[in-house]
Amino acid sequence: MLPPRINAALVVGGRYHDMDYARLQLLEALGVHDQIRVRVFEDYRDIDAITAADLLVTYTVDVVPEEPTAIRLREWLAAGHRWLALHGTNSVLRWSKAAKAWEAPRDRAAFMQTVGSQFLSHPPIAPYLVEVTQPDHPLVAGIEPFHAEDELYLSELHGPLEVLLHTRWSGDTPLFVDRDWTRDEPRPVMYLKREGDGELLYFTLGHARGRYDMQPLMAEYPSVERGSWPVPAFRELLGRGIRWAARLDVTLG
């Protein structure tokens, strides 16, 4: 007898990242499980189809729904569903001519409160140490500290959050309006956020950029960046996140 079908919605889209690469990697990771059937979207406009799914996986940059759609997502989550949110899902960016820097408008409150954070800035990409905050939690058990050469997300948090992975960084990010991060404190890399009977798992890693992905800001980006995707610990954590979201592994909660 076949196991029951699991319907997944995958939202991948946005700016300045290699969405084709991320989409392919996520489809392959989901496709490991025969019973997971996936519909793919670039944004949240088809909210009826998205909320008909059993689980949601998102990898977006500057793709944020309007408030009524965000409320629909929150209600879907609270009804007992699970959402795996990756990398820039919590980002909305605007260029400030006055500040000559990127700013994060605080005009998507329902969405950011649901996902538990809002991206504000990041330092230049460089390796940093990701540490395990709760080594006994099934989602991260057995994972040793690892280095990620990725965008280190500095975010405004909307708790309560159960932080599973973190890093530490302090300094200045001059390309962003929110630039002062001189207070040395843990920066969440992975966390759980409960919403009613449902739960969201946010994993900030997963940067990817190709030669064409900074257009129209520049005709050709000088290098291809794959961030944490080649890192075995990242792949393991991504696989666990998918199994958790699809409720395929009871040991993950």
Per-residue pLDDT tens over the stretch 103-136: 999 999 999 999 999 999 999 999 999 999 999 9
Judge whether residue 3 has pLDDT over 90: no
| DSSP per-residue letters across 35-84 | TEEEEEESSSS-HHHHTTSSEEEEEEES----HHHHHHHHHHHHTT-EEE
Predicted confidence band of residue 1 (pLDDT cuts 50, 70, 90): confident
Predicted confidence band of residue 176 (pLDDT cuts 50, 70, 90): very high
Q: What is the CATH T-level fold of the domain 6-252, as seen in this structure?
A: Rossmann fold (3.40.50)
pLDDT of residue 209: 98
Judge whether residue 143 has pLDDT over 90: yes
Residue 161 near residue 188 (C-beta atoms within 8 A): yes
Contacting residues for 39 by C-beta, under 8 A, at least 6 apart: 7, 8, 9, 10, 49, 53
Over residues 232-243, the pLDDT tens digits come to 999 999 999 999
Judge whether residue 155 has pLDDT over 90: yes
Predicted confidence band of residue 101 (pLDDT cuts 50, 70, 90): very high
- Over range 11-24, report the average pLDDT: 98
- As a whole number of angstroms, the distance between CA 129 and CA 167 comes to 6
What tokens appear for 209 in the block? 């950029």
Segments making up each domain of the chain, as ranges: 6-252
Over residues 198-252, the pLDDT tens digits come to 999 999 999 999 999 999 999 999 999 999 999 999 999 999 999 999 999 989 9
Q: Provide the whole-model pTM.
A: 0.97
- As a whole number of angstroms, the distance between CA 77 and CA 74 comes to 5
Rounded percentage of the chain residues whose pLDDT exceeds 70: 100
| Segments of the chain assigned E as strands | 6-14, 36-41, 55-61, 82-86, 94-96, 101-103, 117-121, 126-132, 146-150, 154-157, 162-168, 171-172, 180-181, 186-195, 198-203
**Positive or negative: CA dihedral 51, 53, 57, 61:** negative
pLDDT of residue 239: 98
- Over range 162-181, report the average pLDDT: 97
Predicted confidence band of residue 6 (pLDDT cuts 50, 70, 90): very high
- As a whole number of angstroms, the distance between CA 251 and CA 53 comes to 23
